Structure 1
Amino acid sequence: MHITKVEAAGGNIAVVSSSEKLIVDVQSALDLMATVHYEAGCDRIVINKSLLSESFFDLKTRLAGEILQKFINYRVKVAIIGDFSAFSSKSFQDFIYECNRGSDIYFLPTEQQAIEKLSILK
């Protein structure tokens, strides 16, 4: 795992990259949050969708809800970046829409858009 700190308004944002899946269950999401906080001191994170288990994107597994609730509970803002058009289910598209309307979790197409969105948050 590689963490790059990006200076932004109101604090730093951690951009996390890796060649392997980092979030496969709730515990691995908690581990990621702890590592980012310890190594970079950030509570705003950008991760590519490729770092998430495929089961995250299947809402029937409830994994997405459980993981994203942990980010909210620990007051960590997260932007998941990538092309989500392959996930054509209406329920998943509605899930993305609702997340993007909030102030904690975003699904965005590019790293730059994610950084801009997380920069305006307090």
Structure 2
Amino acid sequence: MSSLETISGVTVLVHPAEGRTIAGERDALDIIGDTSYQGAEWAVVPVSRLDEGFFRLRTRLAGDIIQKFVQYRVGLAVVGDLSAQLEASSALRDFVTECNRGRQTWFLADMEQLRERLA
């Protein structure tokens, strides 16, 4: 079950680790719809919910999913351990670094990092 939290005045919907894998745009739209319906500005999605194709940039899955969040103006925080995926791909490392410089999509180790970013 998702939980609604307010962090530094920003409403976030924390999605649980268990649940359907986010494997395409339709799955992203479900998360966006749920987040918006709950009145949240950010969706917090555990790394474990993302399809492995998300981490292989050549599949374009990451770009397609993130683009949906941008279109609907919902922030996306991917939370969890990405070390194995980052170690395997310099392109993914660069992509994550670039996302983390922005204000729309963040890849964070834990909820504490999210609290720091939103402070």
* TM-score of the two chains, using structure 1 as the length reference: 0.88
Query: Unaligned stretches of 5+ in structure 1?
Result: none
Q: Which residue of 2 aligns with 1:5?
A: 4
Matched, 1:15 2:37: no
Q: Which residue of 2 aligns with 1:102?
A: 102
Q: Which residue of 2 aligns with 1:28?
A: 27
* Cα distance in structure 2, aligned partners of 1:70 and 1:115: 24
Q: Within 5 A, what are the aligned runs for 1:1-122?
A: 2-38=1-37, 40-87=38-85, 88=87, 89-117=89-117, 119-120=118-119
Q: Report sequence identity in percent.
A: 38
* TM-score of the two chains, using structure 2 as the length reference: 0.90
Moved beyond 4 Å, runs of 4+: none
Contact preservation (8 Å) 1:45, 1:76: yes
Q: Amino acid of the residue matched to residue 6 of structure 1?
A: E
Number of positions where the alignment pairs a residue of Structure 1 with one of Structure 2: 117
C-alpha RMSD over aligned residues: 1.3
Query: Unaligned stretches of 5+ in structure 2?
Result: none
Contact preservation (8 Å) 1:3, 1:36: no
